Amino acid sequence: MARIKIFDTTLRDGEQSPGVTLNLREKREIARQLARLGVDVIEAGFPVASPGDFESVSEIARVTAEENADVVVAGLARAHQGDIERAAAALETAAAPRIHTFIATSPIHIEKKLQSTPDAVLQRAVDAVTFAKTFVDDVEFSAEDAGRSDPAFLEAIFAATVEAGATTINVPDTVGYMTPWEYGALIERLLEAVPALRNVDLSTHCHDDLGMAVANSLAGVRAGATQVECTLNGIGERAGNASLEEIVMALETRKDVWGHATGVATRELYRTSRMVSMMTGMVVPPNKAVVGDNAFAHESGIHQDGVIKAVETYEIMSAETVGRDAGVLVMGKHSGRRAFRATLQDLGYGELEDDDLDRLFAQFKDLADRKASVTSEDIRALVDAETTRVPETYALKRVQFQSGTGVTPVATVEVEVDGVAHEEAAVGDGPVDAIYHAIERLTGRTLRLESYEIRSVGHGKDALGEVTVRARQDDHVVHARGLSTDVVEASAKAYLEAMNKLAAGLGRPVGGTRPEDAAPAPDGATGAPTP
């Protein structure tokens, strides 16, 4: 059975989703989880885009090498020397570095964006690959907007870049324009016309503007592509990219049709999806395939009856296969620190520092006092929140509120600011509004709440509540979240985490473009080098 490589671009194309703000620590934790998930390539970022991007690619390169993760780390670079040098420098510590260089090949991009000619573009592609090869062996070349390019030009540029040393050739449907049969036919034609493509990896990279990213990617695989570029939860530029979990589970569940395997540990899928959703602040719709809350829920009586009699009546894959056996009781309130550490190890958290472990154990004890049964999903939620904790300029000590029918909601909060306790009270339209007013008075910061989402971690009346907010101060925006069995307390924690992130300078300029993005654009195009 042929092995399809999974190239994850959550940290690069996924991070280009409008409003997504990931800091260095979050990127590092996502990269570690991607390695645990078993993807073949992590595209860690676009080093020339900003010092922050450079630093995160470099950190992911270092951490994956140090932890002996069996994964390639890729950095994106336009077909330009400066970009390639920057990518090479960021990847210096990687055990298995890949430079991923690209240039647009469609007439509209060549004429309007690059203001160039096909001949000049082909030469730049060859030069870029040749130059990248002076730094690393593993070089990927992408023809941006291949979906709207002249297939004969693609044949020429791919033949030339393979000749120059490219080890992976990528065929992006950058604007999500193609149909599955067109995309499949394009891959087939390229393999037929350029036999050298059989000696390298041929990759799909499909966007979801018409909802066909997964179908197009699979059509590419059917036609002979050996690598699929995708993101967790399908996040990415505009409507997003092909969704990793859907691709992997389609290949896994219908092995009989595809005849391909991936190296992905499917039991890590749900956890990775949750982690990405929590850290990016991009909530997964309940009906999302594989990872949505309802993906394994049976509502109608006929379906429930069928599932009780034989689960296969309405389930084509089991929830356990994707790691959704979260209701398991793993610990009780009498469990000690040693048992807690062992449970964390069983759940795959081997590398926690002692300080982190102490804080987590205290949180676990607190949770076990409030909740009848603590599940593996609860523990994962606590650990994921802890591993991305930001320095606490503001620490919540206490929250109290009074609210009800015909009563004006009033809230009091006690917050430690740089170690000194302060208290404030305020009224509002509801308990959350009142608490947010009290926090604003206390901290002297006023945020614009752009989104507020609430969900439960697991099931039951005593389930942990998870609140995710997107908040803006002036022209900086952050995502934050709070966890508690009390949803009002979770709301307060999320708001304070947003303030802590802003205080720590972790906000991202509105529009997703960092100030440093105004770097010279060698393509002749002006503005940010966002592909």
3-state per-residue secondary structure call for 435-475: HHHHHHHHHCCCCEEEEEEEEEECCCCCCEEEEEEEEEECC
> 453 - beta bridge partners?
468
How far, in Å, CA of 193 to CA of 161, rounded?
15
105 binds ligand KIV (CB under 6 A): no
Phi, then psi, of 526 in degrees rounded to 5: -100, 165
Among Zn ion, ligand KIV, none, the one that 47 touches (CB under a kind-dependent 5 to 8 A) is none
Number of residues that bind Zn ion (CB under 5 A): 1
**Residue of 486, 251, 250, 460 whose CA lies nearest to 374:** 460
Q: Applying CB under 6 A, which of residues 8, 144, 377, 384 lies at the interface with ligand KIV? A: 144
CB of 209 to ligand KIV, least distance (A): 11
Structure tokens at 219: 């059509």
How far, in Å, CA of 424 to CA of 417, rounded?
12
Q: Applying CB under 5 A, which of residues 13, 29, 173, 384 lies at the interface with Zn ion? A: 13
Q: Applying CB under 6 A, which of residues 172, 281, 507, 529 lies at the interface with ligand KIV? A: 172
| Residues 9-28 interacting with ligand KIV (rule: CB under 6 A) | 13
| Interface stretch with Zn ion, choices 13-21, 242-250, 265-273, 410-418 (CB under 5 A) | 13-21
What track of x and - describes contact with ligand KIV for positions 204 through 233 (by CB under 6 A)? Answer: -x-x--------------------------
CB of 86 to ligand KIV, least distance (A): 15
CB of 231 to Zn ion, least distance (A): 9
CB of 70 to ligand KIV, least distance (A): 24
Given a contact cutoff of 8 angstroms between Cβ atoms, the answer to whether 452 and 469 are in contact is yes
Say if strands 5-8 and 72-78 run parallel, antiparallel, or are unpaired. unpaired
H/E run at residue 82? helix 81-90
Among Zn ion, ligand KIV, none, the one that 323 touches (CB under a kind-dependent 5 to 8 A) is none
- Give me the residue whose beta carbon is nearest to Zn ion: 13
What are the distances in angstroms from CA 8 to CA 23, 147, 227?
A: 18, 20, 10
Longest dimension (CA), the chain: 76
**CB closer to Zn ion, 174 vs 273:** 174
**CB closer to ligand KIV, 144 vs 246:** 144
**CB closer to ligand KIV, 27 vs 207:** 207
| Residues 334-363 interacting with ligand KIV (rule: CB under 6 A) | none
**CB closer to Zn ion, 168 vs 443:** 168
Given a contact cutoff of 8 angstroms between Cβ atoms, the answer to whether 174 and 216 are in contact is no
How far, in Å, CA of 75 to CA of 69, rounded?
17
**CB closer to Zn ion, 13 vs 378:** 13
Chain-centroid distance of CA 515 in Å reads: 23
CB of 202 to ligand KIV, least distance (A): 14
**CB closer to ligand KIV, 207 vs 493:** 207
**CB closer to ligand KIV, 104 vs 457:** 104
CB of 18 to Zn ion, least distance (A): 14
Q: Applying CB under 6 A, which of residues 21, 56, 106, 142 lies at the interface with ligand KIV? A: 142
Among ligand KIV, Zn ion, none, the one that 161 touches (CB under a kind-dependent 5 to 8 A) is none
CB of 22 to Zn ion, least distance (A): 17
Given a contact cutoff of 8 angstroms between Cβ atoms, the answer to whether 245 and 290 are in contact is yes
What value does the CA radius of gyration of the chain take, rounded to a whole number of Å? 24
Contacts of 133 (CB under 8 A, 6+ apart): 139, 164, 165
**CB closer to Zn ion, 13 vs 489:** 13
Given a contact cutoff of 8 angstroms between Cβ atoms, the answer to whether 28 and 57 are in contact is no
List the Cα angle 214/216/218 in 5-degree steps: 70
* Contacts with Zn ion, residue ranges (CB under 5 A): 13
* Residue ranges that bind ligand KIV, judged by CB under 6 A: 13, 102, 142, 144, 170, 172, 174, 205, 207, 531
